[in-house]
Amino acid sequence: MIPIEFDPYSLTDPEKRQFWTAWLARAEKATTKAVGAFEEWLPVRAEPNFKFEFDNDVWKDLKNWLLKNVFSQKCAYCERKISGAHGDAEHYRPKGAVKTGSKRAMCQIPDPVSGGDLPLAHPGYFWLAYDWRNLLPACEFCNSGHGKNERFDNQKGYVALVRMSQAEFDALPDSAKPLPSKNWPGFYYPTPASLDATEHPLLLNPMNAPPERNPRKHLRFGVRGLVAAVDDSPLGQNSIDVFQLEDEDLRQERQEAQEDFWDDYSDAMRKFKPQDPASHAAVKQLLKEYRAGAHPFSAAALDYQQYVREAENAMLAEP
């Protein structure tokens, strides 16, 4: 899993900006419908669990765009290559039912009707169903019933609605402002960043991760494509389990990618001359591509390079 930095508001290409302007308008309209449906359901709760028919086309279009323009046709989690129109539009926080382990997650929300607190089965992060910060391209293995699916484990419980004064809302920067309720003044739906700070999720998200949740601090890849949690990190280990990163077929693919990288790296280094800056270009370009996640299993390849260099230094230090 390689960190990916992406800010759609910094796009300069006219065609890409046009896509985002149009897509954001569709996403906002679809979000309004989902929030409206929840706020109709909550006071009555004729059905025990909130259900809503989402517009799949909105996030599928974004998935295809992200695959091509941001994730180099790779799964955001395991870094497998995703070919053609395959792969899923993965919601980091599930849009519908939320499970912890195999059980439906519960949450307690402030009740806009009674003014008290209301325990209920988590309705899903429906307000984030069309939020680009919550959408990632994923392969069918990572997003299937055997992978993540509806599972979303947290360390500090679950949040679905918050109270906030107008002064508190106004004090927040625009990028951190939660989504206001349609019908209940003073109630808001939290942003992904505020949810991370409150819930402490036990799953890594490679896109725009804050330093403390950077996948490179929680996962390490060794020789032969092996993977382990750094310092027994719960966040790393849970991500390995949920995304099945220890799968044998996947390990073999990572090992092959490491070997391919090392062949290319060795070829570039044979042309490297310390006193000739022109000879540095090939090595720099190769490492730049892998650090940007441009190749399948970039994180595993970079960790392999570091392992080999450390082993060589240790051997040279021996008497």
Q: For the segment 94-105, what is each residue's pLDDT rounded down to a tens digit?
A: 998 898 877 889
Looking at the fold, whether 150 and 286 belong to one and the same domain comes out as: no
pLDDT of amino acid 115: 79
Looking at the fold, whether 77 and 204 belong to one and the same domain comes out as: yes
Classify residue 1: in a domain, yes or no: no
Q: Please state, in angstroms and as integers, the Cα–Cα distance from residue 146 to each residue in 11, 75, 149, 151, 312, following that order.
A: 36, 16, 8, 10, 40
Looking at the fold, whether 193 and 273 belong to one and the same domain comes out as: no
∠ CA 6-12-13, nearest 5°, is: 105
Looking at the fold, whether 232 and 306 belong to one and the same domain comes out as: yes
pLDDT of amino acid 269: 87
Classify residue 272: in a domain, yes or no: yes
Looking at the fold, whether 174 and 267 belong to one and the same domain comes out as: no
Looking at the fold, whether 204 and 264 belong to one and the same domain comes out as: no
Classify residue 128: in a domain, yes or no: yes
Classify residue 3: in a domain, yes or no: no
Residues 41 and 50: beta-carbon distance below 8 Å: yes
Q: Between 294 and 48, name the one with better pLDDT.
A: 294
Looking at the fold, whether 170 and 253 belong to one and the same domain comes out as: no
Looking at the fold, whether 196 and 254 belong to one and the same domain comes out as: no
Looking at the fold, whether 47 and 190 belong to one and the same domain comes out as: yes
**DSSP SS3 for 139:** coil
Q: Which of 183, 213, 243 is the last residue of a domain?
A: 213
pLDDT at 21 over 70: yes
Looking at the fold, whether 48 and 112 belong to one and the same domain comes out as: yes
Burial class (CB in 10 A: 0-12, 13-18, 19+), 99: middle
**What band does 66 get if pLDDT is binned at 50, 70 and 90?**
very high
pLDDT of amino acid 71: 95
**CA neighbor of 245 nearest in space, from 220, 265, 210:** 220
Tell me the residue range of the domain where 191 lies.
Answer: 8-213
Looking at the fold, whether 280 and 138 belong to one and the same domain comes out as: no
Report how far apart the first and last C-alpha atoms of the chain are (Å, whole number): 38
Looking at the fold, whether 94 and 116 belong to one and the same domain comes out as: yes
